[in-house]
Structures are given as structure tokens and as C-alpha cells.
Structure 1
Amino acid sequence: MLALVFLGVSVALAQRIPLPKRSRPPAKFDQETSDLFAGDARERLRGERPTPESLTAATSSDPAPGEDSQTTPAAATFAWSGIISAETLTDEIKAHSSDISHAVRNVRAFRSGGNLETRLRFSVIAAMFGILAEYDGDPRWKEQAPAARDAFASAGRNSKAADDNTFKEARQRSEDLEALIRGGSVELPAPEEKQAIEWDRVAQRPPLMQRLEKALDGRLRPWSADQREFERNRPASVHEAEIIAALAEIIQREYYEYVDDDDYLELCRQLNRHALAARTAAREGDLSTLQMAVGEMAKTCSGCHEDYR
């Protein structure tokens, strides 16, 4: 009986309280508004969709009451350690220093083809620092990696031209690289603040393909030709296989051409898998498996070049 009384009172009050007046919707939206809501809204979203795990991680990282919420967000990480070791990354960076120094020994050398050498090597170095910036763990140079990535990327892009300004930049970056390798302090331009790495600006595709081709055709193929060459070059074979695997991952990233093509992405994934198989074979001293993996990588590269070169 009491419930019925309350129900009656609620109905009466609802009838007496006037509803707020609202504007009527327009009979027809303008073209800009129509375009905004047309089609599937998911097609207008950019970047990877968040996973439940990432949302949980983001929630758990919220500052506690009383903590400063204006801290700089941590750099995004990726499970690079499963693809390339920190040692391979730092060794690859170091390996280019001598050739860069030779290419920028004077303006004449730079203008006589040295710029092409620095374009290749600075681009590869920038890619390695790009990986270090995202690396899961605490490898050497991780703190300097974002600034180094952008600085060497700029030098690589600009080395397409051989003039006084690009020579000065290349010469400065060569000195910076030598200082980093010695363990010295280097002041680099502040890295750009961006939500995601624009990998096609870090390292353009042609220099990366040059490095990949050298790893496969110039090194892994001859090193896997027979048992003697294999034994002499086993540690180096691990290094080259990891470089190929890392480059195959990089060229799948947003901003590169063809990344919206599923067939292209599958070829990249195949190359990555075969490169990791080659790494395992080299580590374990399994020449026959390494030879198979090298052959599969060559087939994958040939198939990719037919349609996407």
C-alpha cells in the first residue's frame, strides 16, 4: 500500500514539472557536418586501436592523489628485444663511424660521393637510435636515443644534396657519433615532440633497403656457402640476421608506402620470420637450417621487388 502511495506522488510530480524546451534538430545538415558523420566512423580513426591491456596500464599509471599530474609521459616501448639485441644495435651504430669520418674528411670528398655514403649510414644509425628509443629494457644510449634519432635522421635526409650546409651538418654529426662511442657528452638538438615516430622521416626506405641487401647478399649468402665460412662468421651472422629482422619490422610501420597493403605486410612478416630463423640457426651452429632461411629470405625479397620496388 505504501509503495502505491509513493508511485502516485511520483506520477503527480512528474506531470506538474514542465520539461525544458529544446531546439528542434535542423531539417537538413550542412555538407561539412554530413561528411563528418558519413560512413563508418572507424575508418576515420588513426593509429592502432587500444587493447584492454593498454587501457588497464594507462589507468594504473594515473597519479595518486597529491601527486603531480604534469609529468612528461614516458616514451612508448616495443618488444624489440625479441627481434634484435641491444648489443647488435650498439655494434651497428659503432660500425659506421669510420666510413662516415672518411666521407666527411673534407668538402671535396663529401661532394665526390661522400654524401651518398653518409646518407646511407646516417639513415641506418637513425633507425637504430629509433629502435633504442622504443626498446624494452635499459640499453646503452636509450636516454640520448630520441635526440640522436632525429639528429642523425636529419643528416641522412639532407645528405641527398652535397653542399656546404649539408657538409657542415654531416661533419658535426660525425663528431657527435665519435664522442658518443667514446662515452663523452654530446649536446644534440632537442627531439621533436610527437605522438608516434614518423619512421619514413627517421630513415627513408632506399637506404634501409641498401643495408638489408648488403646483409643478405653481401654477407649471409657467402657466409653460409660452406662450413668453413659459416664457422668463421657465426657471431657476425647473428648480427646480420637481427638487422634484417629489425628492418623488416620497421618498414611495416605507419607512414611508409604500402603499409595499407595486406600482401606487402605479409611479405614483411615473412622476411622477419625467416631472419629470426636464420639467427637461431647461426646461434646453434646449424648450417643447413641457416642456408634454408637465407634461401627463403631471398625468395621473399624477390617476390616483394616484383610488385613493390
Structure 2
Amino acid sequence: MLAMLLAALLSFSAWGDEKRAAAPEFSSSDTEGIFFDSVGDALRGERPSLAKLRAKQQPAAVAAASGDSDSPEQSAGGTWDKLITATSLEDEVKRVKLHYDTVVTQPGPFKSGGYQDARLDLMVLSSMFAIISEYGGDVRWKEDAAAARDLLARTAFNCNAGTTQVFNEAQARRNDLQDLVSGTGLRDRKADGTNDWASIADRGPLMEYADQLRESLRQSTASAEDVEAEPGDVRRPAELLAVLGKILVQDGMDESDDQDYVAFSEAMTKAASGVTRGLELKDYDAVRAAVGEVTQSCDACHEQYR
């Protein structure tokens, strides 16, 4: 034990005598231009603060929460959501589907002119499903919407004659619509990802549809009592006219690059949305005034375009 203690003491003594290199010495001139004298000297302009950072972040957070964006990549769904409710979309699909069922019952009436009614119904329905496919909110048939859009549009464009082949195809679409409405869904859901409006609908039938909606709106707003009794009969055609104004100026539609035509369509959309606002405010005078503006915009457009 004593030997071990002596060995440890000798080792400690040797470690203490070990020579080390002297610490380097620098003068201020040696590091001049390499390091800043203080952190503050490294900052250019006004020194940042937490308060100012929060002030900048707050508007961005508000914009993100509200969904407002001027980006050209903003989804079309945002537009449809602002113009029409899911209820109006669903009700119109069911309403037009019921009428379509009566059009494709027998080959004779279909050949005698029923194919034209079928063409209109199918173009309206394909347009509704095109909107549903891009709708941001919850709405029925969204999973099948793109496929339904393509099926119905293809048959609509084929309905330029009442041949047996076209009648059979139109009946097949009636069965597809029944599957959709009943909740079964479509067997084939293959579809293009985006809406190609040039292959969805023609302007002529949609303008005819606009006239039908305008007449329905006129009748449902004949008196304040009518508006109060059946507000849904006012809201549905008003919202449909609003989206129709947007559809008519989509890329691929006739005259969509004509500034005058675009102005007429936008005026109809604005006036139709005014009907909805008046309805929500329970302001019958505002409703009637907006209905008048819808009529004026449609009449002015019909004078130049058809």
C-alpha cells in the first residue's frame, strides 16, 4: 500500500512539472475587419423587435383565416361557394332530374322534339355537377360529380337528333341519374380532373335556361307575401342565375373574351346576388329592385347576343 501511495505522489509531481504552450496573445489590430465590436454593429437599419414582428404577422393571420386571396391559383370552389348554397344545388339537380325522366319515356315523343328538351336538361345537369366537382363546401354527389358531368355532357351534345341510338343513350343517363339520387353512385367514376366548359355546355341552351329561371324568379317575387311564404322559391333561381353568369364567361364558352358580353354576365350575377341579400335582410323592396336589375341585364344582353 505504501509503495502505491509513493508512486501516485511521484506521478502527480511529474504532471505538475509538465510544460505547456503559452496562451496566444492578440492585439485589437489583428482582428480588425474580421469581427464586429458588438452584435448591434452587425445589424443594418432599424433593430427588430418582438412587437413589430407580431404586428406584421397579424394581418397575414387574419387573411389566412378569412380565406381572402388575390392569387390567380385561388380555387374556383371559393367562387361557387359565395354564389350558391349546397341546398340550391341539390334541389335543382333533383328538380331537373324529375323533368328529364318524363322526356325520355318513349321513342316517339323523343324523336318528335323531346330530344331538344333532353339536351337542355342534360346541359343544365352537367353544369350543376361541374360546379359540385369544384364546390368547396359539403354537398351531395361530390365523389361522383366529375364522372356525372362528363357522362351527361357527352350525351347532351349527342342530342342533336332523336334517333334510336341517341334515345337509348339518353335512357342510360336516366338510369345513371337514378343511381346517383338514390345513393347507389355511378359504376364508372373515371373523369377528367378539371372542368372544360367548352365540352360541358353550349351558350344557347344556357341562355334558354336563364330565361326559365328569370320567369320563375319573377313569379316567386310577385308580392311580399309570396316572398315571405316561400323564400326558397326565391333563393334557388336567384342563386342559379348568379352562378350562370359566371359559367357563361368561363374559358371555352362563346364570347368569353368579349368585354361587353362579360360585363352583361357580371351584371346579371351581381343583380341576382342582390336578390339573395335582400331576401336575407327581409327587405322586399330590395328584392324587387334586384329582380328588375336582373331583367334589365338579361334584356340588354339578348339585344346583342343569343
Correspondence for 2:169: 169
Which of 253, 257, 262 does residue 260 from structure 1 map onto?
A: 257
How many Å separate the matches in 2 of 1:213 and 1:292? 18
How many Å separate the matches in 2 of 1:247 and 1:52? 22
Which of 206, 210, 213 does residue 212 from structure 1 map onto?
A: 210
User: 1:81, CA displacement in angstroms?
Assistant: 0.7
Pairwise mapping of residues 103-122 of structure 1 onto structure 2 (< 5 A)? 103-122=103-122
Q: Which residue identity is paired with 2:85? A: S
Instruction: Report Cα offsets for 1:58-96 as digits up to 9, x if no partner.
Output: xxxxxxxxxxxxxxxxx9744311001111111111111
Structure 1 unaligned residues grouped into runs of 5+? 1-50, 58-74
How many Å separate the matches in 1 of 2:139 and 2:225? 33
The answer to whether the 8 Å contact 1:148/1:188 transfers is no
Which of 234, 237, 254 does residue 234 from structure 2 map onto?
A: 237
How many Å separate the matches in 1 of 2:82 and 2:76? 16
Which secondary structure state, in structure 2, belongs to the residue aligned with residue 99 of structure 1?
A: helix
Correspondence for 1:82: 82
Which secondary structure state, in structure 2, belongs to the residue aligned with residue 123 of structure 1?
A: helix
User: 1:54, CA displacement in angstroms?
Assistant: 5.9
The answer to whether the 8 Å contact 2:231/2:279 transfers is yes
How many Å separate the matches in 2 of 1:53 and 1:301? 31
In structure 2, relative to structure 1, the CA distance for the partners of 1:219 and 1:54 (3 Å cut) is closer
Correspondence for 1:290: 287
How many Å separate the matches in 2 of 1:260 and 1:182? 40
User: 1:192, CA displacement in angstroms?
Assistant: 3.4
How many Å separate the matches in 2 of 1:93 and 1:115? 19
- Greater shift, 241-250 or 174-183, is seen at 174-183
Instruction: Report Cα offsets for 1:160-185 as digits up to 9, x if no partner.
Output: 21111111111011111111111113
Pairwise mapping of residues 50-199 of structure 1 onto structure 2 (< 5 A)? 53=71, 77-188=77-188, 190-192=190-192, 196-199=194-197
TM-score (norm 2): 0.73
In structure 2, relative to structure 1, the CA distance for the partners of 1:197 and 1:94 (3 Å cut) is same
The answer to whether the 8 Å contact 1:234/1:285 transfers is no
Q: Which of these two proteins has the greater Rg computed from alpha carbons?
A: 2
Instruction: Report Cα offsets for 1:139-165 as digits up to 9, x if no partner.
Output: 221111111101111121111211111
| Percent of aligned positions that are identical | 31
TM-score (norm 1): 0.72
Q: Which residue identity is paired with 1:230? A: V
Which secondary structure state, in structure 1, belongs to the residue aligned with residue 267 of structure 2?
A: helix
The answer to whether the 8 Å contact 1:220/1:294 transfers is yes
The answer to whether the 8 Å contact 2:144/2:189 transfers is no
Instruction: Report Cα offsets for 1:82-128 as digits up to 9, x if no partner.
Output: 00111111111111122211111121121122211111111100000
How many Å separate the matches in 2 of 1:284 and 1:178? 37
How many Å separate the matches in 1 of 2:120 and 2:84? 20
How many Å separate the matches in 2 of 1:124 and 1:188? 21
Q: Which residue identity is paired with 1:286? A: D
How many Å separate the matches in 1 of 2:103 and 2:188? 21
Correspondence for 2:14: none
Structure 2 unaligned residues grouped into runs of 5+? 1-68
Instruction: Report Cα offsets for 1:223-243 as digits up to 9, x if no partner.
Output: 222223223332111011000
In structure 2, relative to structure 1, the CA distance for the partners of 1:185 and 1:301 (3 Å cut) is closer
The answer to whether the 8 Å contact 2:220/2:233 transfers is no
Which secondary structure state, in structure 1, belongs to the residue aligned with residue 198 of structure 2?
A: helix
- Greater shift, 221-230 or 155-164, is seen at 221-230
Computed over aligned residues only, the root mean square deviation of the Cα atoms, in angstroms, reads 2.0
Correspondence for 1:45: none
